Chains A and B, each alone.
Chain A
Amino acid sequence: MSHSRAKHRVAIVAGCRTPFAKSGTSLSHKSAVDLACLAVVELINRSNLDCTNVSQMFFGQVVASPLAPNLAREVSLLPQFPRTIPAITVNAACASANQAIVLGHDQIVQGQADVVVAGGAESLSDIPILHSKRLSQMLVKMSRSKTALEKAKLISSFQPRDVLPITPTISEPSTGETMGEAAERMAKVNGISREDQDRFALRSHRLAAAAMRNGKFATDIAPLLEQGAQGPVVTDNGIRPDTSLEGLARLEPVFDKKHGTVTAGTSSPLTDGAGAVLLMSEEKAISLGYEPLAFVKSYSFVAIDPGDQSLMGPAFAIPQALERAGVAWSEIGLVEMHEAFAAQVLSNINAIESKQWAQDNLGAAERIGEVDWENLNPMGGSIALGHPFGATGARMTLMLATEMKRRDVQFGLLTTCAQGGMGFAMILERS
Chain B
Amino acid sequence: MTAITRRTIDDVDWLELDVPGRPVNVIDGSVRSELKELIEQSASDSGVKAIVLVSRKPDNFMAGADVEEFAKLKTRAEALTLVEDGQNLINRFETIGKPIVAAIHGACLGGGLEAALACTTRIGTDHKATRFQFPEVRIGILPAAGGCQRLPRLVGLRSALEMILTGRTHSSKRAAKIRLIDDLVHPAILESVALETARKLIDGWRPKRPRFRPEMVAIDKNQFARKAVLARARTKTLEKTAGNYPAPLAAIDAIGHGLQYGIEAGLAHEAAAFSELAINDGSKNLVRLFFDGTALKKAYGPSDGYPEPRKTSNVGVVGSGFMGSAIAGVVAARAVAEARLRDISVDRLVSGLDAARSIVDSRQEKGALSKHESRYRTFLVSGGVDWAGFGRADLVIEAATEDLETKRAIIPEIESNTKAECVIASNTSTLLIRDIADAATEPHRFLGMHFFSPVEKMNLVEVVPHENTERWVISAAAGFVRSLGKTAVVVADSPGFWVNRILAPYLREAWILLESGADPLELDKEMIEFGFPVGPVTLLDEVGLDVVLESSHALGEAYGERMSPRASLSRLVGDGRLGRKSGRGLFEYRKDKKKRIDKSSMELICDQDSPPPNRTSERLVYAMLNEAAAAFAEGVVGSARDGDMGAILGFGFPPFRGGPLRYIDRIGLSEVIKTLKELSEEFGQRFEPVTNLKQMAELDTKFHQQQL
Q: Which residues of A contact B (CB under 8 A)?
A: 37, 41-42, 44-46, 48-50, 77-80, 225-227, 232, 234
Contacts and interface: CB of A to CB of B under 8 A. Distances in A.
B355 to A, nearest CB: 10
Contacts of B379: 37, 41, 78-80
Contacts of A79: 336, 338, 376-377, 379-380
Interface string B360-390: 0000000000000000110110111000110
A201 B535 CA distance: 69
Given A42-B382, A79-B380, A80-B338, A226 B353 contact: yes
Nearest to B373: A79
Interface in B377-413: 377, 379-380, 382-384, 388-389, 391-392
A45 B340 contact: yes
Nearest to A74: B376
Contacts of A227: 350-351, 354
Contact of B346 (A44, A45, A78, A232): A232
In the A-B complex, the 5 residue pairs with the closest CB atoms: A45-B389, A48-B391, A46-B388, A225-B350, A232-B350
A48 B380 CA distance: 15
Nearest to A48: B391
A77 B383 contact: no
30 contacts: A37-B379, A42-B382, A42-B388, A45-B340, A45-B382, A45-B384, A45-B388, A45-B392, A46-B389, A48-B388, A48-B391, A49-B392, A50-B392, A77-B376, A78-B376, A78-B379, A79-B338, A79-B376, A79-B379, A80-B379, A225-B346, A225-B349, A225-B350, A225-B353, A225-B382, A226-B350, A226-B353, A227-B351, A232-B346, A234-B346
Contacts of B336: 79
B431 to A, nearest CB: 29
Given A80-B380, A225-B383, A44 B354 contact: no
A232 B346 CA distance: 9
A226 B354 contact: yes
A232 B377 CA distance: 20
A79 B388 CA distance: 19
Contacts of B351: 227
Interface residues of B, number: 21
A253 to B, nearest CB: 41
Interface of B: 336, 338, 340, 346, 349-351, 353-354, 357, 376-377, 379-380, 382-384, 388-389, 391-392
B692 to A, nearest CB: 49
A79 B375 CA distance: 10
B313 to A, nearest CB: 9
Nearest to A226: B354
B356 to A, nearest CB: 11
Nearest to B389: A45
A44 B389 contact: yes
B360 to A, nearest CB: 11
A79 B382 CA distance: 13
Nearest to A222: B382
Contacts of B354: 226-227
Given A225-B350, A226-B350, A41 B382 contact: yes
A49 B349 CA distance: 22
Contacts of A46: 388-389
Given A225-B353, A226-B353, A227-B354, A48 B389 contact: yes
B441 to A, nearest CB: 20
A78 B354 CA distance: 19
Contacts of B384: 42, 45
Contacts of B353: 225-226
Nearest to A78: B379
Contacts of B389: 44-46, 48
A77 B354 CA distance: 22
Contacts of B382: 41-42, 45, 225
Contacts of A50: 392
Given A80-B380, A232-B350, 6 more contacts: A44-B389, A45-B389, A48-B388, A49-B392, A79-B379, A232-B346
A232 B350 CA distance: 7
Contacts of A41: 379, 382
A46 B382 CA distance: 11
Contacts of A226: 350, 353-354, 357
Nearest to B316: A45
Nearest to A232: B350
B572 to A, nearest CB: 33
A215 to B, nearest CB: 13
**Which of B351, B377, B389 has the most chain A CB atoms closer than 10 A to its own CB?**
B389
A14 to B, nearest CB: 11
A227 B346 CA distance: 11
A225 B377 CA distance: 16
A50 B314 CA distance: 11
B180 to A, nearest CB: 33
Contacts of A225: 346, 349-350, 353, 382-383
Nearest to B332: A79
A313 to B, nearest CB: 36
Contacts of A77: 376
A387 B349 CA distance: 29
B340 to A, nearest CB: 6
Contacts of A45: 340, 382, 384, 388-389, 392
A48 B357 CA distance: 22
A70 to B, nearest CB: 15
B392 to A, nearest CB: 5
A41 to B, nearest CB: 5
Contacts of A42: 382, 384, 388
B384 to A, nearest CB: 7
B464 to A, nearest CB: 29
Nearest to B351: A227
A225 B346 CA distance: 8
Nearest to A77: B376
Contacts of A80: 338, 379-380
A222 to B, nearest CB: 9
Contacts of A44: 389, 392
Contacts of B383: 225
Nearest to B353: A225
A78 B376 CA distance: 6
**Which of B346, B383, B392 has the most chain A CB atoms closer than 10 A to its own CB?**
B392
A292 to B, nearest CB: 17
